[in-house]
Amino acid sequence: MIALIQRVTEARVVVDGSVIGEIGAGIVALVGVERADGEAQAERLADKVCAYRIFADRAGKMNLSLADTGGGLLVVPQFTLAAETKNGLRPSFSPAAVPAEGERLFDSFVECAKRRVQHVPTGRFGADMKVHLVNDGPVTFWLKT
């Protein structure tokens, strides 16, 4: 599994003109599922996202995690993260999980995250979403299990 995480001061996801999830300070996690992924990868990635130390402590060092700060985690499904981009000028999505399995493992990731962080709104799997965010820093990391 892959997560592109961004530290944000605020974020929201909109579907059909309606906000379906939003957070204040916290992390936006764009999550992609690959064919070989399973429950273990979903749990390990959720652990890492929630424990990743990207928030400043009193000394200004990135030493605090989302779990430490009590911030929100907006999780957005993004199958394009699993794209093969090495050859040509058009991405191939053959490494991505089939939709039903991708949705199941995305939901598993969300459930794991909810055991670690209190506020975990999500985007909608398969929907055309508009993601609005204010990247804080900017701070962005690519995590893979």
For the chain, the C-alpha Rg in angstroms (whole number) is: 15
Q: What are the residue numbers of the active site?
A: 78-80
74 strand-pairing partners: 28
Q: Would you call the peptide bond into 77 cis, given omega within 30 degrees of 0 as the criterion?
A: no
CA distance 116 to 100: 25
CA distance 124 to 121: 10
